[in-house]
Every structure is written in structure tokens, then in C-alpha cells.
């Protein structure tokens, strides 16, 4: 496992981050979840990502339990705050009240005194940025948070936060961004990536496999695989349904020879692809089985040749989405993704 600096900060993260969205506490049994985390540790993964809203806190609890016997300083734990964790008007957003209370609750569930990276899960239009940034800065000053990040913020939102933090003279600064990014979904490339490269903000990207579609296991004209996310309970099917169009599935199958050429599985090719930009610090993988973690972790350290990257672009062609207005709109896919085959 190789490690990269998180932007221009002094923190190093593993190229593969293990994340537990839609799995721990929701789709995956506890024993299996613990086995997946152990597989990540065995593969050299040191960075783990979760959020207070994942399974309404259960995901943080499982992760904390799994890492309880691991030397705390040997891992980097990231969690998030913003999305609703209850029915009350203050159980969401980036108000000072919700940030402080959610951080304390996350620390309890994770069984730790601090988190390495605390991220604003979405932008909050209702709360002044100044209020949010000061609350985050206070947590850093108290030693409960070491580094700050955002997730699915637009370039103007990130830029405004950086400017306001500087104007306020805050010690802490945004050093990480967690966007959705994969071969098909490249909406951060026109605006977010250039800004972050200029400002020294590292990307910790999620959905490198596009909900598993880029593994090639979903094939056009065939029944959905049993025990897959598409056929599971919970919320997973609603997310994956957006990438199950016949044209898209057919095009993904054309990537198989390219993966074979590179000596990689299709999943490894997809994860390795996200790690090619220098501004990407880590790619988040999830798993429902330990062997998936082991397979995908192989993508760390893989450098894809330029001609292979060009061939991937040629195959996916008009299906690639680079529309910057779709940041934080993961369900707003291109209509072509779901069009029937001619």
C-alpha cells in the first residue's frame, strides 16, 4: 500500500481508503463488516471513512469497534457532519450547535478522542459560512479534530470558505475534498480540481466503481446478479439504478479487453483510474465481502499508461459526464446512461 499527502497538508493517507456507506449497519452483517475492515488493515489500508448519517450512527459504531485494538496513531479516521441525523430542526446542517454536538456523538461512537479528518458532508445554504468555519476551527483548537474537509461542495463554495477563513484569521483550513469521481462521472474536472490543485486541497474520491457497475458484473440483457447491491435491501438499489441502462452496461463491457491488457480486473482498473490525477490523494472503496477489499486494494500504486487512458475515453465517449453544475447532484445522470440500445 502506498501513501500520499492530503493536499499540501502534512497528513499522509493510504491511496485506498476503506469506507462504509450503505454497508455497515445497513446491508452487511456485523461479523462480515468486521472481516472487511480486517481485510483492509491486512492490505495496508490506514485510512477509514465514515459519517454520522451512515445507518444513523451504526456505521461509526462498527468502525470504532473494529479499530478498538489497533494503535490509534497508526490509522487515519475520517467522518462527516451535515446530513439529517434526526427529526429535529437542529439535527442537520452546519450550525454551530449541530457541528459541535455531532462531533461529540461521533467521537463516542468511534471510541476515540479525536478524528483525523472532519468533513462538511454537504454545503449548508441556511447557515452563514462564518458560523460553520468558526465551529470547525474551535474543534481543531480543542484537539478533537486534526484536519478539515468538505464533501460535494462546488468550486465557488470552496473558494468562498477559504477566503472567509483567511479573513477571520482562523488557524484551520480546508485541506480535503470528498467528491464523487469515476470514469463516467467527472463533473469535478472543469472547476473543482483546478481550484483545489491551486489551493493545495487533496481529493478523497468516492464511488470509483460507480456503485459496482464498472466491475463489469452487471451485464446488458442478463438478470441482475444475486447478492449484489442492485438486488439488496435498503437504499442501495435506488443509487445503483441510475447506472443500469443497457447502453451504459454495453459500453462498460468494452472496457474488459483494456483491463486484460493492463493485467488488472475491471474493478482494479476503475479504482486505479481515479488515482491517476496528482490531486487525488485517495480513492474510497466499500465492500460487502472481504475478498472485494483485497482485490481492489491492488489498485494502489498502479500507474496507467497514457495510451490506455486515451482508449478508456474512446470507449466511454459521449457517456462521460463533465457538467460542473451537477456537483452534489449524484442522481442527475446523463439521459444517455439509461437510453435503450438501438
Tell me which residues are annotated as active site. 54
DSSP state of 183: S
- Number of Cα atoms under 13 Å in the Cβ half of residue 100: 10
Q: 65 vs 17, 60, 76, 110, 143, CA distance in Å?
A: 18, 9, 15, 7, 22
DSSP 229-274: GGGSSTTHHHHHGGG--HHHHHHHHTTHHHHHHHT--HHHHHHHHH
Residue 148 in contact with residue 175, Cβ under 8 Å? yes
With residues binned 3-state (H G I as helix, E B as strand, rest as coil), the percentages for the chain, rounded to 5, are 45, 15, 40
CB atoms within 10 A of CB 10: 10
Taking CB atoms within 8 Å and a gap of at least 24, the contacts of 218-224 are 218/244, 218/249, 218/252, 219/249, 219/253, 220/246, 220/249, 220/250, 220/253, 220/341, 221/246
Distance CA 315, CA 320 (A): 10
Q: 225 vs 21, 218, 244, 336, 337, CA distance in Å?
A: 21, 7, 12, 23, 20
Strand duo 280-285 + 202-205: pairing: parallel
Amino acid at each position: 500500500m502506498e501513501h500520499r499527502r492530503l493536499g499540501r497538508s502534512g497528513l499522509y493517507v493510504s491511496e485506498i481508503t476503506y469506507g462504509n456507506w450503505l454497508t455497515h449497519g445497513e446491508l452487511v452483517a456485523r461479523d462480515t463488516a468486521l472481516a472487511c475492515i480486517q481485510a483492509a488493515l491486512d492490505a495496508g489500508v490506514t485510512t477509514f471513512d465514515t459519517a454520522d448519517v451512515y445507518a444513523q450512527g451504526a456505521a461509526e459504531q462498527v468502525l470504532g469497534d473494529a479499530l478498538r485494538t489497533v494503535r490509534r496513531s497508526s490509522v487515519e479516521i475520517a467522518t462527516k457532519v451535515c446530513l439529517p441525523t434526526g427529526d429535529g430542526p437542529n439535527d442537520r446542517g452546519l450550525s454551530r450547535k449541530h457541528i459541535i454536538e455531532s462531533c461529540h456523538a461521533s467521537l463516542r461512537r468511534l471510541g476515540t478522542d479525536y478524528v483525523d479528518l472532519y468533513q462538511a458532508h454537504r454545503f449548508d445554504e441556511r447557515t452563514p459560512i462564518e458560523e460553520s468555519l468558526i465551529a470547525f476551527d474551535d474543534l481543531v483548537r480543542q484537539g478533537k479534530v486534526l484536519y478539515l474537509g468538505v464533501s460535494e461542495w462546488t468550486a465557488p463554495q470552496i473558494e468562498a470558505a477559504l477566503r472567509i477563513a483567511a479573513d477571520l484569521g482562523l488557524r484551520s483550513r480546508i485541506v480535503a475534498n470528498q467528491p464523487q469521481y469515476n470514469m463516467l462521472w467527472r463533473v469535478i474536472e472543469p472547476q473543482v480540481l483546478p481550484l483545489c490543485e491551486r489551493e493545495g486541497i487533496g481529493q478523497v474520491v468516492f464511488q470509483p466503481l460507480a456503485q459496482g457497475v464498472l466491475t463489469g458484473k452487471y451485464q446488458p440483457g442478463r438478470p441482475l446478479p444475486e447478492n449484489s447491491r442492485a438486488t439488496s435491501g435498503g437504499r442501495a438499489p435506488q443509487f445503483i439504478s441510475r447506472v443500469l441502462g443497457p447502453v451504459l452496461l454495453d459500453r462498460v463491457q468494452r472496457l474488459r479487453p483494456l483491463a486484460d491488457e493492463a493485467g488488472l480486473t475491471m474493478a482494479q482498473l476503475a479504482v486505479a483510474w481515479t488515482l491517476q490525477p496528482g490531486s487525488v490523494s485517495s480513492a474510497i472503496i466499500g465492500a460487502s465481502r472481504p475478498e472485494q477489499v483485497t482485490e481492489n486494494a491492488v489498485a494502489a500504486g498502479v500507474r496507467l499508461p497514457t495510451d490506455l487512458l486515451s482508449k478508456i475515453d474512446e470507449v466511454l465517449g459521449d457517456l462521460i459526464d463533465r457538467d460542473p453544475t451537477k456537483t452534489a447532484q449524484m442522481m442527475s445522470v446523463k439521459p444517455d446512461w439509461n437510453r435503450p440500445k438501438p
